[in-house]
Structure 1
């Protein structure tokens, strides 16, 4: 499944099928993260935080990534920070490539139809377009 997902630096640990939705539990293959304040690498995990991220469909199935976004603790400043994931922005619930796909659809259609065809709200589609732009 890791090869099919095709997200660099991401490993699929588990999968679950529910109706027309494929839920993939994924982790980052990086063992460390860099403190945004000091730039120092840390391997000291402070806590785990699960987030759900919508990704590109596979074989006409909706794909949801259950991501373990780890929080690390900096050895220098002793403050916790979240790891940076290269495929999803902080506080976003869709992957970059999914947002880009939705934006391409809007170029050839309109926000209302794209939202309807993808079972999304117009506000969410507008947010993705702004993010990609």
Structure 2
């Protein structure tokens, strides 16, 4: 846990376990602090993890360095109803690979220039930027 990085990132229920500097980007490995979730089907609390598959999520750059967050995507099994559900994250939309704040940042860049310019500056594909722009604008 790095108190300063945790404070700087300001992500709910997450802490930075380690920071890794790679050639093209910085990767912050996160640990989720909550032990379980309420089942969306029966509302019972469960801590029974069925599987954990980490994902890389793009976040805002820090000091000119591209930043990715390595986040555990935990799927829980409800001990009450037996159903499975993936833990929702407050800072990432479901099935997205960018933080909400990064998507808002890209939206603002497109609003002041163009999708093509945002693609060039951020190193993203046109479809990615268009999906972010459409998602934030809704």
Pick the TM interval, shorter chain. over 0.9
Distance in 2, Cα, partners of 1:20 & 1:118: 13
Q: State the Cα distance separating 1:4 from its structure 2 match.
A: 2.1
Instruction: Tell me the equivalent position of 1:109.
Output: 113
Q: State the Cα distance separating 1:8 from its structure 2 match.
A: 2.2
Where do 1:77-92 residues align within 5 Å? Answer: 77-92=81-96
Deviations 1:17-45 (A, max 9, x none): 01241101112211111212112211111
Using the size of structure 2 for normalisation, the TM-score is 0.92
> Among 100, 104, 121, which residue is 2:104 paired with?
100
Instruction: Tell me the equivalent position of 2:80.
Output: 76
**Equivalent pairs, count:** 133
Instruction: Tell me the equivalent position of 2:14.
Output: 10
* RMSD of aligned Cα (Å): 1.0
Using the size of structure 1 for normalisation, the TM-score is 0.95
Moved >2 Å (runs of 4+): none
Question: Which segments of 5 or more consecutive residues in structure 1 lack a partner in the other structure?
Answer: none
